[in-house]
Structure 1
Amino acid sequence: MPDSVAIVTGASQGIGRSTAIRLARDFPSVVLVARNRANLDDTAAQVRAAGAEPLVVDLDLARPSAARTVVDTTLERFGRIDALVNIAGAVPQIDVLDMTDEQWDAGLALKLHGARRLTVAAWPALMESKGSVVLMSGNSAISPRAATGAVATINAAIAALAKAFSDRGIMDGVQVNSVMPGAVMTGRRRSYLEHWAPAHDMTVDEAIANFPAKAEITRFGQPEEIAELMAFVVSPAARWMTGSVLRMDGGEIKSV
């Protein structure tokens, strides 16, 4: 895709970083969006090594003005947007009875409204390029638990939002899909296991070894595996796919 431009949010770590580096093989220019400048600079070096030109935009997508800044900065530098991959946002796993209003608001502001605003702001450019959008949800949207009540609620909202955008995209020529990863071994996942392990009389290494069997999955996923799925979804090979919800979870969800 000559001269094409991809925007990846949450590009400072985890799935976002792996996706940005993977897309550098397909897109000559990759815009990296997150809050941590030092981590973004590290991602940028890896994107450059993979053959693409990076553009770092360090800001907080929870701010209402941030989406417009990302789009304007991208268009000023590259003149187009061909793919938007919304990954930014993490919601703490806290019992649904214990989540405060502030924690709910923070999760909604970044993961849901950040993705919504950025997609809306980028939409005219995506219409022009007949581009692609991905919104990352998660398996908790399908199987909520007490400890993941907020995560599940926000992920379900993102999946519904992606469906709504995809319906509009049919009219406007913009492809929109959502991706639902399962248990992926990111830094956040390891931090969770560091709290989970002592409560189950395990070391962290034991938890990593035993958790997949307890969760009835084949193993933990790797960020690079989700990145490959993201790359396929925004590729020409997947162009007829729109409004789809794609799961990659090692067999976690048992329902049809």
Structure 2
Amino acid sequence: MSKPVAIVTGASSGIGKATALRLARDFGVVVLVARGGEKLAEVGEQVKAIGAEALVLELDLMEASAAETVVKETTKRFGRIDALVNIAGAVPGLDVFQMSDEQWNAGMELKFQGARRLAVHAWGALKASGGALVFTSGNAAVIPKAGAAAVGAINAAVEALSKAFAERGIEDGVQVNSISPGATMTGRRQAMLEKAATSKNIGVEEVKLQFLKQAGISRFGEAGEIADLIAFVVSPAAHWMTGTVLRMDGGEVKST
């Protein structure tokens, strides 16, 4: 019997990297997709060290052909897809009046269209395996801010998209959910905090405390915590869970 295969996008850093390493414990094969070559290759070696096989695909999911390439390369080599986890998609946090059409479109192309195209191309293989499809959104979907307009709008679109796929998944035997991480401490988050500290002329720790107070949470999340949730969602234990948005955010979102 062939080994189960998981595809993780955005796998070179942050939550994507943590998820790839976590799923390496449960899947025989992890396919790593991201734009970052050297960092992505390093994650591939770490996946192998855990005991899983790794396929490293350095691709830009903003390119329309990339999704088809991911699925073709994966199925040609391994013959199956059991889980697809869409994590790629950093959206610029710019004011609603400052973003150009190009910036709006770039955010939508990577996080929304890239994930949509990949889900469409992988659907047949997921249907054949009775697999799991995961989208990643964010709390901005339900707490939109004028100062980060695209983040909220695109995350909300991703959550709606996941529910549309979930409806078809009920017919086809594919489990579909969306994971919404709260403020998670990644390299990108650290860079954002440092930029804010510079602009305010205060220390990074003070900026962190201000953020936590404003968000109403006690601490930042860890990428590994989000990865553990994703690992549960794509496991047999959670297979009846579908069409759901799961928020892991320390209590920032106080309503459903």
Shift of 1:206: 2.8
What's 1:78 paired with? 78
Structure 1: stretches of 5+ with no match in the other structure: none
Match of 1:216 in 2: 216
**Distance apart, 1:208 and its partner CA:** 2.8
* Aligned counterparts, 1:155-170, within 5 A: 155-170=155-170
2:185 is paired with a residue whose SS is: coil
Q: In structure 2, the residue corresponding to 1:76 is in which secondary structure?
A: helix
The aligned runs of 1:160-199 (5 Å cut-off) are 160-199=160-199
Aligned letter for 1:127?
Answer: K
RMSD over equivalenced CA pairs, Å: 1.2
Listed as ranges, the gaps of 5+ residues in structure 2 are none
1:65-214 matched pairs, under 5 angstroms: 65-214=65-214
Post-superposition CA distance 1:151-192 (Å, at most 9, x none): 100000000000000000000010000000000011111111
Match of 1:243 in 2: 243
Query: Secondary structure, in 3 states, of the residue corresponding to 2:62?
Result: coil
Q: Is the CA contact 1:136–1:179 (under 8 Å) kept in the aligned structure 2?
A: yes
Deviates more, 1:174-183 or 1:213-222: 213-222
Q: In the TM superposition, what whole-angstrom CA distance separates every residue of 1:196-215 from its partner, at most 9, and x where no partner exists? A: 12344421133234421232
Alpha carbons 1:134, 1:177 under 8 Å: kept: yes
CA shift at 1:148, angstroms? 1.7
Q: Secondary structure at the match of 1:232?
A: helix
| Cα 1:202–1:214 shift into 2, 3 Å | farther
Aligned length: 256
**Identical counterparts, % of pairs:** 61
Task: Answer yes or no: is the 8 Å Cα contact 1:2–1:27 preserved in 2.
Answer: no
Return the TM-score normalized by structure 1.
Answer: 0.97
Q: Aligned letter for 1:155?
A: N
Question: How far apart are 1:226 and its partner, in Å?
Answer: 0.3
Which SS does the other structure have where 2:15 is aligned?
helix
TM-score by length of 2: 0.97
Q: State the distance in 1 between where 2:146 and 2:214 align.
A: 17
Question: How far apart are the structure 1 equivalents of 2:210 and 2:22?
Answer: 30
Further displaced range: 223-232 or 194-203: 194-203
Q: For each residue in 1:76-123, what CA deviation from the matched residue of structure 2 results, as whole angstroms up to 9, or x when unmatched?
A: 111100000000011111001101111011001110000000000000
Deviation at 1:2, TM superposition (A): 6.6
The amino acid of 2:225's aligned partner reads E
- Once residues 61 and 127 of structure 1 are traced to their aligned partners in structure 2, the CA distance between those partners, rounded to angstroms, is 22
Aligned partners of 1:54 and 1:209: how far apart in 2? 39
Partner residue in 1 for 2:14: 14
The answer for the alignment partner of 1:60 in structure 2 is 60
